[in-house]
Amino acid sequence: MCGIIGYVGSKQALPVIIEGLQRLEYRGYDSAGIALISPAGNIEVRRAVGKLQNLVTQLQEEPKPLKGSVGMGHTRWATHGKPTELNAHPHRGPQSRVVVVHNGIIENYVQLKQELVQSGYSFNYSSETDTEVIAHLLEKCMLREGDTLEQATIKTLNRLKGTAAIVAISLDDPEKIVAARLSNAGAVVIGYGAEVEHEMFIASDIPAILPHTRRITFLESNEVAVLNTAGVTFFNSKGEVISKEIVTVNIDAISAAKGGYKHFMQKEIYDQPQALSDTLLGRVDLENGNVKLEDFKFSKSDIAAIEKVTLIGCGTSWHAGLVAKFWIESLAGLPCDVDYGSEFRYRDPILTPNHLLVAITQSGETVDTLAGIEEAKLKKAKVVSVVNVVGSQAARVADGVIYMHAGPEIGVASTKAFITSLADLFLLAVYLGRERGKLGADRAQSLLQSLVEIPNLLANTLLENSIYDQISRKFYTAKDFLYLGRGINYPIALEGALKLKELSYIHAEGYPAGELKHGPIALIDEGLPVVAIVVKDGLYDKVVSAVEQVKARDGFVLAIASEGDELIAGKADKVIYIPNTDPLLMPLLTTIPVQLLSYHLAEIRGCDVDQPRNLAKSVTVE
Ligand code: M6R
């Protein structure tokens, strides 16, 4: 969703803000904007539609560089109102004395707008956004009621419904920045600069301010932070001063750079062997066939009492859940269901204290998944989050956490977070199986041995292969693709279709191969490429027969098959071979070809690989 950065200190704010926005652009790129309190006593606002570069170019064309050491920036993913300059943030109050940026959705903005109009306010900038009412409310409190910026922010926060991270500056309180977080809005991170610099930062995520500081505090729901060169003061929504802890984060800023690759996504695909090794580090006890999960803090009796597991997530994280269902059921012997975060809470799920809810989320900020966690907690279920972003909301509110250790994932399409979440979920299944006495040491040892070998096998799967280029050249104008898989590889067919849709805008569907004959076979002709995951597992023959059905109707088949399978070479048009492993672990390998195929097709079609249209990395609105 939208990205926010703010700075108050002794340096020029603009370079800090632009650099921060560059790091946040993956969150939204419909428009970008900045606001600075200038030494001349104005608020300078600049906004541009489209990518951040458009704003940077506009700023470079200014006769003189903008000056000011208090300011903020925003990169937008449009929710209310089209991506136009008028709708770009920052938004001003009617007299331009307060300027605000916002991430989230104000659910009662229509009602608030009507109230403001009735009390004599006009919306002279007339954006279509829900954000403008915040600027109006703040300015009303300051100018009509004589509030300071923080008093106005607290009052306004109490009037808003929805999810909102808000940052505001004002000409009438020009030496501070005020931030507020309403309900489960996206993260608001406060950064403490070096003491000699007397500077403070605010951002929507940690990497945005990592070059400046590692000392941070997270704003919780309904809290307000007031930042100036002397530091920060926190308030609750009643206006009482509260104290909060400073934590020191240890995220490597270097690993968030492209490192010679053309795209972040490409780098992140090739990072996967290393990311997986990092995820497994210190967690696998091969000698005893055990798993150590450092932040999975449930007692033996809690674990023994678990009666059911529910996995929730969205998009790619939901696909990870679909794979993990096989592991939880077969290794931990527990009934398991999987739901979309966005559906789960609306079906009044039956949950008990003996229910384990596993929330899978790379960002840890996906609002639908967070709402699922909230629902589970209300019903007293045990909650564990499988999460990548350290200290994110999903990590903080859960009873236990299993971190992905993928490092920052910048490409909007999820790749290394998928592989590392799969590894986490596999470890969880083995852990539960061992703790509950359902999985013997020998079988656990052999599975864990296979797991620790996967990083090397991944590296082999990533070796140069001209097939991706050949297929992309042949099918880059195709309108549709069909992905087939079965059993534990069916979710990878779904993941392949999702990756292709989001990256290359080609329509694609993932289907269980056994369902082909029940409808989708009507689509087959020479113009519809079919990607079939046909690896050597218990369902191999069944998928081969689906391949035959496609070939009998002149369809084109690209098979993702197990090394050494000669039979399939005689049936499919092209084959990508992957190394052999335990069939339960195959999804970790079959994922790579579907990622690479989508990447190559998007490249050849000239699509924006790292920032596909209409998407955002973390979806913090419903
Ligand atoms: O951060 P999360 O894992 O909660 O995000 C969930 C989805 O929004 C995400 O996986 C999305 O589907 C990706 N664009 C897929 O590549």
Q: Highest-confidence range of 164-168, 296-300, 320-324, 607-611, by mean pLDDT? A: 320-324
Ligand 1 pocket member 413 (CB < 6 A):
yes
Q: How confident is the model at residue 576 (pLDDT cuts 50, 70, 90)?
A: very high
Ligand 1 pocket member 316 (CB < 6 A):
yes
Instruction: Report the pLDDT value the prediction gives residue 591, as an integer from 0 to 100.
Output: 98
The answer on pLDDT for 255 being more than 60 is no
Q: What is the Å distance from ligand 1's center to 617 Cα?
A: 7
Round to whole Å and give the CA distance between 622 and 619: 8
Instruction: Report the pLDDT value the prediction gives residue 545, as an integer from 0 to 100.
Output: 93
The answer on pLDDT for 485 being more than 90 is yes
Does the domain at 264-461 match CATH 3.40.50.10490? Answer given as: yes
Ligand 1 pocket member 226 (CB < 6 A):
no
Q: Highest-confidence range of 74-88, 186-200, 536-550, by mean pLDDT? A: 536-550
pTM score above 0.85:
no
Contacts for 447 with CB less than 8 Å, ≥ 6 apart: 331, 426, 430, 582, 584, 585
Q: Which residue owns the Cα nearest ligand 1 atom 12?
A: 315
Q: In residues, how long is the chain?
A: 622
The answer on pLDDT for 460 being more than 80 is yes
The answer on pLDDT for 33 being more than 60 is yes
Contacts for 277 with CB less than 8 Å, ≥ 6 apart: 455
Contact 548, 517 (CB under 8 A): no
Q: What is the Å distance from ligand 1's center to 5 Cα?
A: 22
To test the ligand 1 pocket, which listed residue (317, 322, 416) has its Cβ within 8 A of the most ligand atoms?
A: 317
pLDDT tens-digit readout, 582-604: 999 999 999 999 999 999 999 99
Instruction: Report the pLDDT value the prediction gives residue 618, as an integer from 0 to 100.
Output: 73
Q: Are 264-461 and 466-604 in the same CATH fold?
A: yes
Contacts for 378 with CB less than 8 Å, ≥ 6 apart: none
Contact 71, 6 (CB under 8 A): yes
Q: How confident is the model at residue 107 (pLDDT cuts 50, 70, 90)?
A: confident
Q: Which CATH code, of 3.40.50.720, 3.30.70.930, 3.40.30.10, 3.60.20.10, is assigned to 3-248? A: 3.60.20.10
Q: How does DSSP assign 342-355, residue by residue? A: HHHGGG-----TTE
Task: Using alpha carbons, select from 210, 247, 187 the residue that is nearest to residue 387.
Answer: 187
Q: At what angle do helices 416-435 and 315-332 cross, to 10 degrees?
A: 20
* Helix (H/G/I), strand (E/B), else coil: 602: helix
Provide, for the chain, the percentages of residues in helix, strand and coil under a 3-state DSSP scheme, each rounded to the nearest 5.
40, 25, 35
Ligand 1 pocket member 370 (CB < 6 A):
no
| Average pLDDT rounded to a whole number, residues 242-271 | 80
Round to whole Å and give the CA distance between 333 and 423: 18
Domain ranges of the chain: 3-248, 264-461, 466-604
The answer on pLDDT for 183 being more than 90 is no
Contact 615, 76 (CB under 8 A): no
Location of structure tokens 């004002």:
170
Strands 480-485 and 43-49: unpaired
Q: How confident is the model at residue 84 (pLDDT cuts 50, 70, 90)?
A: confident
* Helix (H/G/I), strand (E/B), else coil: 484: strand
Q: What superfamily in CATH does domain 466-604 come from?
A: Glucose-6-phosphate isomerase like protein; domain 1 (3.40.50.10490)
Instruction: Report the pLDDT value the prediction gives residue 125, as an integer from 0 to 100.
Output: 59
| Average pLDDT rounded to a whole number, residues 223-230 | 96
Q: How confident is the model at residue 442 (pLDDT cuts 50, 70, 90)?
A: very high
* Residues annotated as part of the active site: 2, 617
pLDDT tens-digit readout, 443-457: 999 999 999 999 999
Least confident of 114-118, 191-195, 259-263, 493-497: 259-263
To test the ligand 1 pocket, which listed residue (312, 319, 361, 362) has its Cβ within 8 A of the most ligand atoms?
A: 362
Q: How confident is the model at residue 196 (pLDDT cuts 50, 70, 90)?
A: low
First and final C-alpha spacing in the chain: 11
Atom of ligand 1 nearest to the CA of 618: 1
Ligand 1 pocket member 392 (CB < 6 A):
no
Q: What is the Å distance from ligand 1's center to 540 Cα?
A: 30
At 260, give phi and psi (nearest 5°): 90, -15
Higher-pLDDT residue of 587, 264: 587
Contact 244, 231 (CB under 8 A): no
Task: Using alpha carbons, select from 609, 592, 617 the residue that is nearest to residue 271.
Answer: 592
The answer on pLDDT for 257 being more than 70 is no
Contact 133, 156 (CB under 8 A): no
Instruction: Report the pLDDT value the prediction gives residue 124, as an integer from 0 to 100.
Output: 63
Q: How confident is the model at residue 252 (pLDDT cuts 50, 70, 90)?
A: low
Round to whole Å and give the CA distance between 360 and 352: 20
Instruction: Report the pLDDT value the prediction gives residue 573, as an integer from 0 to 100.
Output: 96
Ligand 1 pocket member 502 (CB < 6 A):
yes
How does the average pLDDT of the chain come out, rounded? 92
Round to whole Å and give the CA distance between 406 and 421: 9
Can you point out the beta strands (E) in 210-307? Answer: 215-218, 223-228, 231-236, 241-242, 247-248, 284-285, 290-291
Least confident of 81-90, 231-240, 411-420: 81-90
Instruction: Report the pLDDT value the prediction gives residue 253, as an integer from 0 to 100.
Output: 53
- Type of residue found at 333: G
The answer on pLDDT for 579 being more than 90 is yes
Atom of ligand 1 nearest to the CA of 617: 14
- Is the link from the previous residue into 90 a cis peptide, with omega within 30 of 0? yes
Location of structure tokens 């009662």:
108
Round to whole Å and give the CA distance between 522 and 123: 54
Q: What is the Å distance from ligand 1's center to 361 Cα?
A: 7
Contacts for 609 with CB less than 8 Å, ≥ 6 apart: 263, 265, 266, 411, 413, 503, 599, 602, 603
Q: What is the Å distance from ligand 1's center to 511 Cα?
A: 20
The answer on pLDDT for 376 being more than 70 is yes
Higher-pLDDT residue of 346, 331: 331
To test the ligand 1 pocket, which listed residue (619, 621, 622) has its Cβ within 8 A of the most ligand atoms?
A: 619
Q: What is the Å distance from ligand 1's center to 605 Cα?
A: 23
Q: Which residue owns the Cα nearest ligand 1 atom 7?
A: 315
Higher-pLDDT residue of 185, 529: 529
34 beta partners? 46, 73
Contact 324, 422 (CB under 8 A): yes
Ligand 1 pocket member 611 (CB < 6 A):
no
Ligand 1 pocket member 361 (CB < 6 A):
yes
- By percentage, how much of the chain surpasses pLDDT 70? 97
